[in-house]
Amino acid sequence: MILRGIRGHSTAIFGLAENTPILISSGEERKLIFFIARGAVHSVVGTPYLADNRATGEHSQDIGEALSYKEPYGRRFFIPICSAETREWNLSLPKGIEMCNAKQI
């Protein structure tokens, strides 16, 4: 399968990892679906992911583009994906995230 982005780029998809448990924040776990691709590729965040995880894409003059998550008890937190200063996509983990288990094949 070939996945095409809104800017015309494409990535070959070799499989899916379904119902993968991810710890989002303070003990809140979600089950996500990941596309399996070879090499370094950009993340794909679509409407099903956003809806399933009570997330929205938001723009802020201070932080730029960010994913905004609302936790069940009302707190909202942001993960920056495009810096307001550099206007470039964030390809590293946000500050405060200590670990991320990913495997590149």
> Which tens digit of pLDDT belongs to each residue from 8-19?
777 788 887 788
The ranges of the chain with pLDDT < 70 are 5-7, 24-26, 39-49, 51-53, 87-105
Look at residue 88 in the predicted model and tell me its pLDDT: 65
Q: What is the pLDDT of residues 19-36, one digit of tens each?
A: 888 776 667 777 777 777
Structure token pair of residue 80: 């920056």
